[in-house]
Amino acid sequence: MSIIHCQLSTINCQLSIINYIKMIVLNNIIKTYDKGETKAVNNVSFEVGKGELFGLIGPDGAGKTTIFRILTTLLLPDSGTAYVNGFDVVKDYRVIRASVGYMPGRFSLYPDLSVEENLRFFATMFNTGIRENYDLIKDIYTQLEPFKERRAGKLSGGMKQKLALCCALIHRPAVLFLDEPTTGVDVVSRKEFWEMLKRLKEQGITILVSTPYMDEAMLCERIVLIQSGKILSVDTPSTIIGQYPERLFAVRSDNMGRLLSDLRNIEIVKSCHAFGGYHHIAFVDRIAFAGQANFADEKENPQNALLHALENENHRNIEIREITPTIEDCFIRLMGNHYQPTANGFT
C-alpha cells in the first residue's frame, strides 16, 4: 500500500520520488466519542507529501473535523500514531503548534477586535510580527486593507474567511489545515479562495483542506474520500475517476420524479442516482459492454433499448448521453461498497 507506487502509476503526479517528504502521516488512527459508542474516525491512515494540496472529501459527520483536531493537537487519538512535519502529535505537540496554521470550520477570530488587531494579535501569539511574513499574506491582505479598522464580526462571510486565512498564515506555517473553508461562502469567493490556495502551494506550504463539496475535489492534487470515519479511497482525483469501472449515462425527461422510479424498475439499469438536472445511470454489465463492443448494432445499443423502454412509459423529451463520471459518482459508488476495506483506491 505504498504511496510512492501510487504516485508512479498516475500521469498527473507532479511530485518526483526524490522530493517526496512526508509532511503529514496518519497510521491507523482511531477516535471514538461517548465512551466508545460512536466511532468518529475508524482506522484511518494516509500520508501527505511536502507542498501538496491535499483534500479531505466527505459529507458532514464523516470525521473530517476530528482528523483535523487530532492533527492540530487539540484532540488525542484513542489509538494509532500521527506525525506532522515529522513530529508526533501527542508527544511533540508544542513544536507542532508553533509550525502549523489551523483555520477551524467555524469563524473563530475575535468579533470585537478589528481586522488589523486580530492579525497582530495572532502574529504576536506566534512570536512574530505582521511585517516579517507580510509577503505571504500580501495578496489576500490587500483585499482586506480597506476594512482594516472594521470589527471582524462585522465582515461579510467571504471577508471573514480571508481574514481567518491571513491569521492562520501569519507565522508562515509549514502545514496549513483548513477545515471546510468554503462552507457557507458564495461561488465567486469560493473560486477566489481556491486560487489563493494554489498560490500558497507554490510557496511550498503543505495544505490539508476538507470540503463537503465534491466539485472542489477536482481542485486538489490528491484527495481522500471519507465516509463515516472510514477511508473509501486515496488518490489523485483523475485516477479515482479513471478507476470508475462502469460507463455512465445521464438521462432526463419532462417528469424527472417519475423517471427516477421508472429507471430503477427497468431491469437493464444497474444503478440510478439523481444528480441535479440529470439522473446518472449505469447499465448492468452484460448490456453495457455488449453495447460497447457492437456499437454499430442498433438493437444491442443499451441507449436505444432504454429509450424504447422509457417511451413505453410515456416519457417525453427523453435525453440520454454518455458522460465522464465525476468525483461525486465515484463517491456514491464507493459508499455503496465501503465495507470492502481497500475499495479500489490503490492500483
Partner 1 sequence: MRTLRFLLQKEFRQIFRNKSLLPLIFFMPVVQLLVLPLAADYEVKNIHITIVDRDHSTYSQKLVSKIGASGYFRLTDYTMGFDEAFKDMEDDRSDLILEIPPGFERNLVRENQQSLFIAVNAINGVKANLGGAYLNRIIADYNKDICLEWIQTSKFNPSPSIEVTQSNWFNPSMNYRFYMVPGILALLVTMIGAYLCSLNIVREKEVGTIEQINVTPVQKYQFLLGKLIPFWVIGMAIFTIGLFGIAWPVYGIVPAGNLLLLYGYLSVYLVGILGLGLLISTYADTQQQAMSVAFFFMMIFILMSGLFTPIDSMPRWAYIIARSSPVTYFIEVMRMIVLKGNSFEHIWRHFLIMAGFAVCLNGWAIVNYRKTN
CA distance 243 to 330: 9
Q: Which residues pair with 25 in a beta bridge?
A: 47, 83
Q: Where are the alpha helices (DSSP H) in 226-284?
A: 237-242, 256-265
Give the other-Cβ count within 10 Å of 232's Cβ: 25
Q: Is 141 helix (H, G, I), strand (E, B) or coil?
A: helix
Q: Which residues pair with 118 in a beta bridge?
A: none
Which of 6, 100, 207, 281 contacts partner 1 by CB under 8 A? Answer: 100
Choose the binding region for partner 1 from 43-51, 72-80, 247-255, 315-323 (rule: CB under 8 A).
Answer: 72-80
Q: How far is the CB of 103 from partner 1 (least distance, A)?
A: 9
Helices (H) and strands (E) in the chain, counts: 12, 14
The mark string for 132-171 relative to partner 1 (x by CB under 8 A, - otherwise) is -----------------------------------x----
The residue among 120 and 270 lying less far from partner 1, judged by its C-beta, is: 120
Say whether residue 76 binds partner 1 (CB under 8 A).
yes
Residue 160: phi and psi, rounded to 5, are: -60, -45
Q: How far is the CB of 38 from partner 1 (least distance, A)?
A: 15
Say whether residue 107 binds partner 1 (CB under 8 A).
yes
> Which positions from 204 through 263 interact with partner 1, judged by CB under 8 A?
none
CA distance 302 to 249: 10
Q: How far is the CB of 96 from partner 1 (least distance, A)?
A: 9
- Cβ atoms of 81 and 27 within 8 Å: the answer is yes
User: Which cell goes with 255?
Assistant: 417528469
Say whether residue 174 binds partner 1 (CB under 8 A).
no
Q: Terminus-to-terminus CA distance in the chain, angstroms?
A: 9
Say whether residue 75 binds partner 1 (CB under 8 A).
yes
Q: How far is the CB of 190 from partner 1 (least distance, A)?
A: 21
Q: From 12, 5, 24, 11, select the one nearest 205 (Cα to Cα).
A: 24
User: Which cell goes with 84?
Assistant: 506532522
Which of 72, 161, 236, 344 contacts partner 1 by CB under 8 A? Answer: 72
Tell me how many residues contact partner 1 (CB under 8 A): 29
The residue among 9 and 33 lying less far from partner 1, judged by its C-beta, is: 33
Which of 55, 58, 104, 158 contacts partner 1 by CB under 8 A? Answer: 104
Say whether residue 78 binds partner 1 (CB under 8 A).
no
Say whether residue 92 binds partner 1 (CB under 8 A).
no
Say whether residue 127 binds partner 1 (CB under 8 A).
yes
Q: How far is the CB of 124 from partner 1 (least distance, A)?
A: 4
- Cβ atoms of 44 and 67 within 8 Å: the answer is yes
Q: From 25, 55, 22, select the one nearest 208 (Cα to Cα).
A: 55
Q: How far is the CB of 111 from partner 1 (least distance, A)?
A: 7
Q: How far is the CB of 198 from partner 1 (least distance, A)?
A: 24
Can you point out the beta strands (E) in 34-157? 38-49, 53-57, 79-84, 87-88, 100-103
The residue among 4 and 125 lying less far from partner 1, judged by its C-beta, is: 125
State how beta strands 230-235 and 206-211 pair. Answer: unpaired
Which of 50, 80, 92, 121 contacts partner 1 by CB under 8 A? Answer: 121
Say whether residue 88 binds partner 1 (CB under 8 A).
no
Which residues are at the interface with partner 1 (CB under 8 A)? 72-76, 93-94, 97-98, 100, 102, 104, 106-113, 117, 120-122, 124-127, 167
